[in-house]
Amino acid sequence: MFVLQKIHKTEEEWKKVLTPEQYRVLRERGTEAAFTCAVEEGVPKTGIYQCVACGLPLFATGNKFESKTGWPSFFSPVHPDHLEYIHDTSFGIERTEVRCAQCESHLGHVFDDGPPPTGKRYCINSIALSFSSSST
């Protein structure tokens, strides 16, 4: 069974493994411009989206839907324990921030206006994800 082990790096260590733009989004809770779609182009049909900082599997292509927001959107994670939820009131807006449970990197936000079966919309910065296609 997969057991989560927390990854703790100093901000200096994160700066060495992430690009400046990744660092801005993942560690400083920035938001990439809509329709950046870093991992979208040429994406094969099935696979897993992993945390770009630590490789933890977060979302599957089967959980993805077209939200037309300009950010990759999913209605559920591959495993509920792989995400952490933080109440976010920045900019005076009540939102739920989504973080990687393993390295605590900022991924995006989750909203309650998604499609069935969960009704959730995980709005994730594509720069926070790396894509691994399934070989089968």
Which residues, at least 6 apart from 88, have a Cβ–Cβ distance to it below 8 Å?
A: 94, 95, 96, 97, 109
The region of 42-50, 75-83, 96-104, 106-114 touching Zn ion under the rule CB under 5 A is 96-104
CA 106 to chain centre: 7
Active site residue 37: no
Q: Does the protein bind Zn ion through residue 102 (CB under 5 A)?
A: yes
Can you tell me the distance from the alpha carbon of 133 to that of 136, in angstroms, rounded to the nearest whole number? 9
For Zn ion, which is the closer residue by CB, 9 or 95?
A: 9
If the CB atoms of residues 18 and 54 are measured against Zn ion, the closer one turns out to be: 54
- Which residue in 25, 51, 78, 107 binds Zn ion (CB under 5 A)? 51
Interface with Zn ion includes 129 (CB under 5 A)?
Answer: no
Q: What is the DSSP string of 89-108?
A: -GGG--EEEEEETTT--EEE
Catalytic residues: 123
